[in-house]
């Protein structure tokens, strides 16, 4: 039986799991709650063989406004999961992010690169990663960390750059509102990231081990926009929205992975190209109702 913890809301929604067919949902033990509640997390973890810990606040712009909330959710929430896993003596995969590296000293980035928190979000994820490391070393907790690089694809929030660009183009805007165009990112399609988690769970990574998931190539935001325009078959003038520009010292200039360890340890390698992944995302977005120019261009903190 698969068990899923979804953030509680008064609407009683399970997020994207609400769209799962009823016969599939019947095979999933769905729970509502909050990772910040230690007792609830302990109850959810009880009886599990492996825990995939993906609960986090992830919006970098919002972390500038509410850093304490990110610490409570990403750091203390992760400690709650670690304590529950330690008590249940089960296996855990902690989800990290390439943002923990900050602007790197050299590329491609390897797992041994130093960590640098250039945003409250990144700092909170570094704290979570270090807690996972500490529990592995101090208590022998069977926790390993996967570090995805810029996962994208269907169902991603419009706050992220790829759905922001594609949704605006599909809405037919003449002016594409973005932040800085120079930063480079290593975009990994969601199906490849999911495959990485499944493989990590199956192979049983060593306690404290870190493995990153990325394609090994990066593109600038400007190059990404050009590719998106070609796939959608439209064009728009790019303008800078000041709300989307990170503070100077907080901008991570390049994230580009070295996926060698993922292949060596798990036999994992990305299979879906950026172009194919973008095409699949366009198809999904185009099938949604209600995307308009206002919603597509609105800045989602």
Q: Where are the domains of the chain?
A: 34-297
Supply 71's token pair.
Answer: 């610490």
Per-residue pLDDT, 301: 42
The reported pLDDT for the residue numbered 295 is 57
The whole-angstrom separation of Cα 218 and Cα 85 is: 35
The confidence score (pLDDT) of residue 179 equals: 87
Q: Which CATH number fits domain 34-297: 3.60.10.10, 3.40.718.10, 3.40.50.720, 3.40.50.150?
A: 3.40.50.720
Is the distance from CB of 112 to CB of 177 less than 8 angstroms? no
Distances (CA, A) of 198 to 50, 191, 192: 11, 11, 10
State the pLDDT at residue 54.
98
pLDDT attached to residue 244: 81
Q: 86 pairs with which residues across the strands?
A: none
Using alpha carbons only, give the angle 33, 11, 35 rounded to the nearest 5 degrees: 15
Q: What is the pLDDT of residues 176-224, one digit of tens each?
A: 989 899 999 999 999 999 999 999 999 989 999 999 999 999 999 999 9
Tokens of 236: 């728009």
How far apart are alpha carbons 122 and 87 in whole angstroms?
28
Residues of the chain with pLDDT under 70: 289-301
pLDDT value of residue 300: 46
Q: What is the pLDDT of residue 241?
A: 84
Report d(CA 129, CA 111) in Å as an integer. 12
What pLDDT does residue 177 have?
Answer: 87
If one counts every other C-beta atom within 10 angstroms of the C-beta of residue 107, the result is 17
| Residue 108, both tokens | 């491609």
Q: Are 85 and 134 in contact (CB under 8 A)?
A: no
pTM of the model: 0.94
Confidence (pLDDT) at 298: 55
Distance CA 7, CA 112 (A): 33
Q: Give the whole-angstrom CA distance, residue 125 versus residue 38.
A: 19
């Amino acid at each position: 039986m698969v068990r899923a913890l979804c953030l509680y809301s008064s609407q009683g929604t399970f997020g994207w799991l609400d769209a799962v067919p009823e016969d599939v949902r019947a095979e999933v033990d769905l729970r509502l709650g909050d990772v910040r509640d230690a007792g609830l997390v302990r109850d959810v973890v009880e009886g599990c063989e492996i825990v995939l810990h993906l609960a986090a606040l992830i919006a970098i712009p919002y972390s500038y406004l509410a850093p304490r909330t990110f610490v409570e959710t990403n750091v203390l929430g992760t400690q709650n999961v670690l304590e529950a896993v330690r008590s249940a003596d089960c296996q855990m995969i902690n989800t990290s992010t390439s943002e923990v590296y900050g602007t790197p000293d050299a590329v491609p980035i390897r797992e041994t690169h130093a960590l640098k928190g250039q945003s409250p979000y990144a700092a909170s994820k570094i704290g979570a990663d270090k807690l996972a490391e500490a529990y592995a070393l101090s208590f022998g907790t069977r926790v390993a960390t996967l570090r995805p690089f810029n996962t994208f694809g269907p169902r991603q929030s419009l706050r992220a750059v790829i759905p922001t660009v594609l949704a605006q183009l599909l809405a037919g805007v003449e002016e594409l509102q973005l932040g800085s165009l120079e930063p480079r990112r290593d975009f990994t399609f969601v199906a490849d990231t999911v495959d990485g988690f499944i493989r990590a769970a199956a192979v049983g990574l060593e306690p404290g081990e870190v493995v990153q998931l990325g394609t090994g190539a990066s593109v600038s935001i400007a190059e990404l926009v050009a590719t998106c325009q070609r796939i959608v078959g439209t064009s728009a003038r790019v303008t800078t929205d000041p709300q989307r520009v990170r503070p100077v010292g907080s901008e991570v200039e390049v994230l580009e992975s070295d996926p060698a360890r993922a292949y060596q340890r798990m036999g994992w390698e990305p299979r879906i190209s950026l172009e194919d992944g973008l095409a699949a995302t366009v198809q999904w977005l185009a099938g949604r109702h209600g995307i308009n120019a206002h919603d597509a261009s609105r800045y989602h903190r």
